[in-house]
């Protein structure tokens, strides 16, 4: 397994402006921040039902993508663009919100289940190799009561939470930049060990 072969980076989100600032859309915040880092602009591409951009890293093309469909059917647009560019599941990186990580934490994870996330569930359901893809889980925290989850994820974070989330996304962008550069010598296992959980309150620098 070699994460340097990532060819498609997807940020999960719900469409429409009213959802843009909600916790559930932090995956799209990440992709937009990544695009800005590389001075790229995402543009709507109706062929793929979403917003696309691209960058070249070490002579390899990496696509950036935000589906413009509802989260629970996001696999439809992801499969369209993946099939068009002949991208395998192990060349896919998906960024999404994670209830079981507090704001300020971000985790790179390969495989495993969906943990109740409808977007990830939908992707796993349609992939031939199911959960054979890399993820960036961006912490949003969890409400006290389980019945509050729907309203919680579809609401904006507090100002303090947003600040922590944005800092975690900044660190995730930095880690992703390392990930897709061919000059690093990290194995997949080493990368996941080093970037299992990134805490923005930690002073640890991400240097390789």
* Known binding residues for tRNA: 19, 70, 72, 118
24 catalytic? Reply is yes
Those residues whose C-beta lies under 8 Å from the C-beta of residue 77, and which sit 6 or more positions away, are 48, 49, 50, 65, 67, 68, 69
- Other CB atoms within 10 Å distance of the CB of residue 38: 15
Distance, CA of 76 to CA of 50 (rounded, Å):
10
* Chain Cα centroid distance, residue 90: 14
Q: Is 46 helix (H, G, I), strand (E, B) or coil?
A: coil
Question: What strand order describes the sheet that includes 60-67?
Answer: 43-45, 50-57, 60-67, 8-11, 92-98, 134-139, 105-110, 198-199
Catalytic residue among 24, 96, 170, 174: 24
Q: Which residues are part of the catalytic machinery?
A: 24
């Amino acid at each position: 397994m070699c994460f340097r072969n990532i060819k498609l980076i997807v940020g999960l989100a719900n469409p429409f402006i009213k959802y843009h600032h909600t916790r559930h859309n932090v995956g799209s915040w990440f992709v937009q921040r990544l695009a800005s880092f590389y001075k790229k602009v995402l543009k709507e591409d109706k062929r793929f039902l979403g917003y696309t951009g691209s960058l070249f890293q070490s002579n390899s093309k990496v696509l950036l993508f935000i589906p413009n469909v509802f989260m629970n059917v996001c696999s439809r647009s992801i499969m369209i663009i993946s099939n068009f560019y002949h991208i395998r599941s192990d060349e896919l990186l998906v960024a999404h919100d994670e209830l079981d990580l507090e704001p300020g934490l971000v985790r790179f994870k390969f495989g495993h289940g969906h943990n109740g996330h409808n977007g990830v569930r939908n992707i796993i359901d349609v992939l031939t190799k199911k959960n054979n893809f890399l993820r960036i889980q961006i912490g949003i925290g969890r409400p006290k009561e389980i019945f509050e989850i729907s309203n919680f994820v579809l609401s904006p974070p507090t100002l303090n939470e947003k600040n922590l989330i944005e800092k975690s996304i900044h660190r995730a962008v930095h880690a992703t930049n390392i990930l897709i550069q061919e000059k690093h010598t990290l194995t997949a296992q080493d990368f996941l060990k080093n970037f299992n959980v990134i805490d923005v309150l930690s002073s640890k620098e991400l240097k390789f």
